[in-house]
Amino acid sequence: MTLEMELEMEMEIQKEISMEMEMEMEKTMEMEKEIEITMEVEMEMEMEMEMTMEMLMELEKEMEMEMKMEMEKEMEMKLEMTMEMEIEMKIEMTMEMEKKWK
């Protein structure tokens, strides 16, 4: 085998190695892109989670408010009933007094 042929073969091998390295680089770049996309998706999910948490907290506050309102309504009703009972008692007393006067 002549020197020229050997050189040619060596150059071929170098070309192949070069091509393989290029392919590896492309694969690596693709993987980096995928990792980047995955990270973006993770960030988006995290943001969505935060939003959901905030919404849950809002809901909880609303529910607490509703509970307070319910309790206030109940208190009002009790008060009304007490007042009604007082009025009824006064009416009864008045009627009894009227009977006595007659």
Of the ranges 4-8, 17-21, 70-74, which one carries the lowest mean pLDDT score? Answer: 4-8
CA gap 99, 87 in Å, rounded: 18
pLDDT in tens, 57-83: 999 999 999 999 999 999 999 999 999
pTM of this structure: 0.49
DSSP string, 47-98: HHHHHHHHHHHHHHHHHHHHHHHHHHHHHHHHHHHHHHHHHHHHHHHHHHHH
Residue type at position 101: W
